[in-house]
Amino acid sequence: MDTLTWGQIITRILWQLLPVWGALVVTFGLSIAFKRRLGLYGRIFDSTVGMIGFALVMFWVFTAFFADLIITHDPYSQVSGMKNILPGSPVKNVKDGVYQWYLLGGDHLARDVFSRAIMGAREVLIIAPFATVVAFMVGITLGLPAGYLGGKLDVGLSFGSNLVLAFPVILLFYLLVTPSVQESAIPTTFAAILFLFPIVFMTLLLNARYFTNKTQRNLYVGIVLVVGLWAYSGLAFNADPLGVWSMSPNILNVFVSVVFVNSPGVFRIVRGMVMDIKTRDYVAAGQTRGEGIWYIMLWEILPNARGPLIVDFCLRIGYTTILLGTLGFFGLGVAPDSPDWGSTINYGRRLLAIAPHPAVVPALALMSLVLGLNLLADGLREESLKD
Amino acid sequence: MVVFVLRRVGIILLTALTLSFIVFALTNLPSSLGKLAKAEGSVRMSDEEVQRWLDENGFGGSTVWRYGEWLGLAPGWTHTDEAGVTRGRCIEAVKTSQTPDAEVATYCGILQGYWGFSTVFKQPVSEVMARSLGATGWLMFWVMAVMVPTSLVLGVLAGMREGSRTDRVLSGVAIVTTATPEYVSGVVLIAVLASATAGVSPVLAEWGWISGKTLFPGTATSAMDDITFMNFFLPVMTIALYGIGYIARMTRASMTEVMTQQYIRTARLKGVSFRQVVMKHALRNALIAPFTVIMLQFPWLLNGVVISETLFNYKGFGWTLVQAAGNNDINTLLGCTVVAVFVVLVTQLISDIGYVFLNPRIRLA
């Protein structure tokens, strides 16, 4: 069997990604058709930059979603004779029903680089957005009262957040994501504190809105508490009675550290914006009406700070992706055979001089995802400034 | 102004104290100490033997007390074994100091200028830090020398005429580089410029333009002795690339804002040439914001330094930090923390003070 040319490799990769193209076309078609009714999301499609960014991001989201259909080989299986082999090489001793080429070559353990890069997208896209969401809830829940009430609370929380921000990120990772820390109670304690914030946030949010209508309030807050505490018991303590929610100690450790590093940044932004917005007339009007402080903070101030927060959310997912890559690059907190991009780059970098493809493929993948998120943030910023 | 600086210095000291204690506590977890005992003693030690080794080597007391020893506020530990030989923190401190007949002090910590002994490098931490910081100093210097002028020129050129083709091209380049973390740019740079099988090197070697196999060497180990363009270009570019995009974007934003100001329009309407307007009226005001950004880039540069030094095997501060963290070398890690935190906080202070001098509209209370 012959080695594939670059033209054939590219054609075949585009063909493998067919489900992604389909999903992208459907998403863009529907979104552009209804863009006037979709609010800020629809306005992404008014800006070229925003559209390119959105396309890149959605490309990776769909890739992660359809990863099982796209991959040509099992990302963990090793085929003898394929070590560091060049892109487009035919698989030796091919069995029936197995794809006959390594599209982007083999890595140092003779695994398929293409399939691993595709599966790596799943690893990143499961952790990064959720870690960012939790970081945002922590930052918002602490930043709102710090900015609105000020005083000693603000001084204390600001000192704490500056403490984390002054810490070199890599040193923090080396301290928090190590086997000896994993054995101790530190990650669980951190998780117990950090995962409480989403529940507190949702409870406060719904309670402040519906406290006048007791039945409705009890229903919503009840649902949040039941689902939240159920997930909480599983995620933080790995003690879910039904076994639906769980997180491996490795992932929990990584997740918690990434949230911990990200939330002070969110806290600072929220606090700054609250200090600006709280001087507005509509806040004074709410105070005069006798609204509770959580209602004013969560339903008067927060919605008016959403523009910059959405932009920062996009940028921060990108930053989290970079952080996850950094963790993988230093071999912290990931299983040795994990296909995530950071650790693949780490293993590939040692052989860069002779076989660059195992490191370059995940490097470019990671870069394009972060680039997409940055472009999307730029587009959103432009569009939200047009008001 | 003086009050402001003094208050900030106080906060810096408090922060450094808190953070060094956190690092101390995290590196002194019971399981890490057990590992240390087995690494220094023998692998087959039983739990009691481990405990005895820890007690005999000054890891016995409470974490707070040992932190006090490290700081120099509590008397250093001593231990006299059966043979009557007394060992102790301060005795080691005297042994490693250069003066032969220094008195054995009771207190020996950071405050007395003793940083401890590195278990990985088998050297006093102060020597390890001096050597690695010297190496990283050169790296940082060249990064700054490349990054600052390039990014400012790019930013000013892009922001001069908002929406022009130059602006769009340069902004595109800037956004791509800000999406490229150091471990990506390093890998891509090596693959393109320093790989014998890919990129430009095989082509150049075939044409006979370069004598070796690759255009640039893939490591910067030789730069420890002698820095040349060839061995330093890749590590410097790896770090600088991310910063160039970021600072250029900030400069562009600041420049476009200044270019829409009334006084720029007035100057243009008076008939001053565009060149003169940019050079004389816009530039100085547009450079205030980037100054702050450049100073606040330092913490991120620290990250870049760690990645680039690991990637290119350049034995500076970042490399030392990775080695110390990987082997739980407590004293070296603490030294690295103190240095890193001071660098971050002092640059923040400088950026605040510099801002006041650059922008006369700001007054510090």
pLDDT per residue as tens digits for the range B27-84: 888 777 877 777 777 777 788 888 887 877 777 778 888 888 888 777 777 777 777 7
A169-176 and B330-358 helices, crossing angle to 10°? 150
Contact criterion met (CB < 8 Å) for B190 and A352: yes
Specify the higher pLDDT residue, A275 or A7: A275
pLDDT band at A13 (very low <50, low <70, confident <90, very high): confident
pLDDT band at A226 (very low <50, low <70, confident <90, very high): very high
Q: Is the pLDDT reported for residue B328 higher than 90?
A: no
Mean pLDDT of A287-300: 91
Residue percentage of chain B with pLDDT more than 90: 9
Residue whose tokens read 């952790």: A127
Contact criterion met (CB < 8 Å) for B325 and A174: yes
- DSSP code string of A53-64: HHHHHHHHHHHH
- Tell me the count of A-B CB pairs closer than 8 A: 140
Q: If you ran DSSP here, which 8-state letter would residue A45 be given?
A: G
Of B32, B187, B333, the CB nearest to A363: B187
Residue percentage of chain B with pLDDT more than 70: 94
Residues of chain B contacting A363 with CB distance shorter than 8 Å: 183-184, 187-188
Nearest CA among A134, A139, A99, A106 for reference residue A16:
A99
Contact criterion met (CB < 8 Å) for B191 and A168: no
pLDDT, one tens digit per residue, over B173-198 is: 999 998 899 999 999 888 888 877 77
Q: Is the pLDDT reported for residue B276 higher than 70?
A: yes
Report the SS3 class of residue B123: strand
CA distance A376 to chain B (A): 11
- Contact status, residue A39 vs residue A362, Cβ threshold 8 Å: no
Report the SS3 class of residue A381: helix
Q: Is the pLDDT reported for residue B6 higher than 60?
A: yes
Mean pLDDT of B2-16: 87
The pLDDT score that the predictor gives to residue B82 is: 72
Mean pLDDT of A210-228: 91
Of A171, A374, A375, the CB nearest to B337: A171
Residues of chain A contacting B191 with CB distance shorter than 8 Å: 352, 356, 359-360
Question: Which residue of A161, A180, A376 to mutate against B (max B Cβ within 10 Å)?
Answer: A180
Of B175, B181, B194, the CB nearest to A353: B194
pLDDT, one tens digit per residue, over A251-286 is: 888 899 999 999 999 999 999 999 989 899 999 999
Residue whose tokens read 């912290």: A332
Residues of chain A contacting B27 with CB distance shorter than 8 Å: 175
Can you say whether residue A172 is alpha, beta or left, with left for phi > 0 and alpha for psi between -120 and 50 degrees? alpha
The pLDDT score that the predictor gives to residue B105 is: 67
Listed in sequence order, the DSSP H helices in B42-124 are 47-56, 63-71, 89-96
pLDDT, one tens digit per residue, over B216-241 is: 777 777 777 777 788 888 899 999 99
The pLDDT score that the predictor gives to residue B150 is: 92
Report the SS3 class of residue A91: coil
Q: Is the pLDDT reported for residue B282 higher than 80?
A: yes
The pLDDT score that the predictor gives to residue B257 is: 87
Comparing A21-30, A144-153, B290-299, the range with the smallest average pLDDT is B290-299
The pLDDT score that the predictor gives to residue A298 is: 92
Q: How far is A170 from B270, CA to CA, in rounded Å? A: 54
Residue whose tokens read 């957040």: A161
The pLDDT score that the predictor gives to residue A374 is: 92
pLDDT band at A97 (very low <50, low <70, confident <90, very high): low
Specify the higher pLDDT residue, A99 or B287: B287
The pLDDT score that the predictor gives to residue B365 is: 52
CA distance B281 to chain A (A): 27
pLDDT, one tens digit per residue, over B119-160 is: 888 888 888 888 999 889 999 899 999 999 999 999 999 988
Comparing A142-151, A194-203, B204-213, the range with the smallest average pLDDT is B204-213
Residue percentage of chain A with pLDDT more than 90: 39
Contact criterion met (CB < 8 Å) for B19 and A167: yes
Q: How far is A217 from A209, CA to CA, in rounded Å? A: 8
pLDDT band at B287 (very low <50, low <70, confident <90, very high): confident
Q: How far is CA A204 from the centre of its chain?
A: 25
Triad B32, B302, A363: Cα angle to 5°: 90
Residues of chain B contacting A349 with CB distance shorter than 8 Å: 183, 186-187, 190, 311
Contact criterion met (CB < 8 Å) for A356 and B344: no
Residues of chain B contacting A371 with CB distance shorter than 8 Å: 175-176, 179
Sign of CA pseudo-dihedral B289, B295, B299, B300:
positive
Contact criterion met (CB < 8 Å) for B303 and A170: yes
CA distance B181 to chain A (A): 7
- DSSP code string of B194-212: S-SSSTTHHHHHHHTS-SS
Specify the higher pLDDT residue, B58 or B13: B13
Specify the higher pLDDT residue, A234 or A89: A234
Q: If you ran DSSP here, which 8-state letter would residue B77 be given?
A: P
The pLDDT score that the predictor gives to residue B280 is: 84
The pLDDT score that the predictor gives to residue B232 is: 86
The pLDDT score that the predictor gives to residue A1 is: 67
What token pair was written down for A163? 């403490």
Q: How far is B42 from B44, CA to CA, in rounded Å? A: 6
Residue of B nearest to A178 (CA): B326
Q: How far is A182 from A330, CA to CA, in rounded Å? A: 16
Contact criterion met (CB < 8 Å) for B195 and A181: no
Mean pLDDT of A194-198: 92
- DSSP code string of A161-224: HHHHHHS-HHHHHHHHSSHHHHHSSHHHHHHHHHTHHHHHHHHHHHHHHHTTSHHHHHHHHHHH
Contact criterion met (CB < 8 Å) for B181 and A355: no
Q: How far is CA B101 from the centre of its chain?
A: 36
In which element (H, E) is residue B175 found? Answer: helix B165-178
Q: Cα–Cα distances in Å, from A253 out to A230, A270, B341, B342?
A: 20, 26, 24, 28
Give the predicted TM-score (pTM) of the model: 0.89
Contact criterion met (CB < 8 Å) for A356 and B179: no
Report long-range pairs for A334-338 (Cβ below 8 Å, ≥24 apart): A334/A250, A334/A254, A335/A250, A337/A76, A337/A109, A338/A123
CA distance B234 to chain A (A): 14
Contact criterion met (CB < 8 Å) for A364 and B328: no
Q: How far is CA B305 from the centre of its chain?
A: 6
Contact criterion met (CB < 8 Å) for B184 and A354: no
Residues of chain B contacting A169 with CB distance shorter than 8 Å: 303
> How many CB atoms are located within 10 Å of the residue A61 CB?
19
Question: Which residue of A352, A373, A375, A380 to mutate against B (max B Cβ within 10 Å)?
Answer: A352
Report the SS3 class of residue B344: helix
Q: How far is A43 from A307, CA to CA, in rounded Å? A: 13
Q: How far is B58 from B77, CA to CA, in rounded Å? A: 6
Contact criterion met (CB < 8 Å) for A171 and B179: no
CA distance A316 to chain B (A): 12
Mean pLDDT of A304-315: 89
Q: How far is B241 from A216, CA to CA, in rounded Å? A: 54
Residue of A nearest to B219 (CA): A353
CA distance B12 to chain A (A): 10
> A178 CB contacts (<8 Å, ≥6 apart)?
A332, B32
Residues of chain B contacting A183 with CB distance shorter than 8 Å: 31
Contact criterion met (CB < 8 Å) for A167 and B341: yes
Of B19, B30, B214, the CB nearest to A163: B19
What token pair was written down for B165? 């083709």
Nearest CA among A14, A329, A290, A271 for reference residue A143:
A271
Q: How far is B66 from B330, CA to CA, in rounded Å? A: 12
Residue of A nearest to B321 (CA): A171
The pLDDT score that the predictor gives to residue A154 is: 92
Q: How far is B295 from B287, CA to CA, in rounded Å? A: 13
The pLDDT score that the predictor gives to residue A387 is: 61
pLDDT band at A109 (very low <50, low <70, confident <90, very high): confident
Nearest CA among B179, B191, B168, B190 for reference residue A368:
B179
Residues of chain A contacting B344 with CB distance shorter than 8 Å: 166, 168
Q: Is the pLDDT reported for residue B85 higher than 80?
A: no
Contact criterion met (CB < 8 Å) for A168 and B27: no
Contact criterion met (CB < 8 Å) for A166 and B195: no
Contact criterion met (CB < 8 Å) for A352 and B195: yes
Residues of chain A contacting B311 with CB distance shorter than 8 Å: 349
Question: Which residue of A171, A181, A357, A368 to mutate against B (max B Cβ within 10 Å)?
Answer: A171
Residue of A nearest to B181 (CA): A322
pLDDT band at A225 (very low <50, low <70, confident <90, very high): very high
Mean predicted lDDT score pLDDT of chain A: 87
Specify the higher pLDDT residue, B178 or A242: B178
